[in-house]
Structure 1
């Protein structure tokens, strides 16, 4: 009789312990902590760079055979944000040698880009009408797509390791002119 009583007591203790754990978690609809709810994007604050791009850390990258401009990113300016945005300075050089310098950000989760400001006469000017735009992969000067697919994103996730990004931007490792594939050879979305 003692063994059966101990067995019943063990089962009862396990049930009470399980009920206690369930009670501690609470109702996700009441607590607002639904683990299956979609994440809401909240962009962090973005400050303009303090300096123009550093010529010694400019890394040119390939965009497409139809690209008219030459594109470079200042590797010292790359910031991997906790908000899921990778921010960077890009330098676009026309065939005549004129340059446009912009401070931009890329979101890998939504495959979007945003311009934060331009370098005008040696000073950064914020872009007041800046908004998130879809990255277009089908234009000759598709440098945002090249950066996202070749270095800043790992499919639809932000690359968090700066060494991986810098290695990917190198001329021997850059794959920005191709769409990444998974291990089955299927194109990523």
Structure 2
């Protein structure tokens, strides 16, 4: 009987030692994120804009041209945002939203001369710091990002079109 106990105990010790001798398995480290090169700012149309549902206190009309919307393999949602003030002056920017980190980057601005001017050193910044306009934050929440993941181009367009048609009698919340 003692022999059986000793053998069982010895086998248990050897098995435990074998577990400790094996290298520990860890989940693989996530690959370092690398941004794709942003293409040149695309041509946009003021006639096809999908409005972004901004709060009532924002007097500028904001929209994106759906033909400029692209979701890169790097997860960045790139688009041209067009802002029109009460006098009809149009400003536009070519931007990207990185949904995973809630950041926005402006790649180029549309000049009064009708040409794109690339931003010298575009940098990622928090979409909550996107001052004076909160359009990137609003765009992310209204369809570009879902649970910190970028949506597909069709999903973004569908969500924005749905948001731009509020139900009768509903008011827009303010930020």
Which TM class, normalised by the smaller chain length?
A: 0.7 to 0.9
**Shift of residue 76 of structure 1?**
0.3
Does 2:41 match 1:49? yes
> Among 72, 96, 115, which residue is 2:106 paired with?
115
Gap runs ≥5 in structure 1: 1-26, 179-189
The corresponding residue for 2:156 is: 165
The SS at the match of 1:87 is strand
2:61–2:84 contact (8 Å) kept in structure 1: yes
* Separation in 1, partners of 2:121, 2:69: 23
TM-score (norm 1): 0.67
Instruction: Trace 1:20-31 onto structure 2 (pairs within 5 A).
Output: none
Q: How many residues were matched structurally?
A: 144
Q: Which runs of 4+ in 1 moved over 4 A?
A: 137-140
What RMSD in Å do the two structures reach over aligned CA positions?
Answer: 2.6
Q: Deviations over 1:10-43 (max 9, x none)?
A: xxxxxxxxxxxxxxxxx899xxxx7442342200
1:65–1:140 contact (8 Å) kept in structure 2: no
* Separation in 2, partners of 1:28, 1:158: 34
**Shift of residue 139 of structure 1?**
6.9
1:66–1:141 contact (8 Å) kept in structure 2: no
Gap runs ≥5 in structure 2: 1-22, 167-171
Label 1:58 to 1:138 Cα distance change in 2 as closer, same or farther (>3 A).
closer
TM-score (norm 2): 0.72
The structure with the largest alpha-carbon Rg is 2
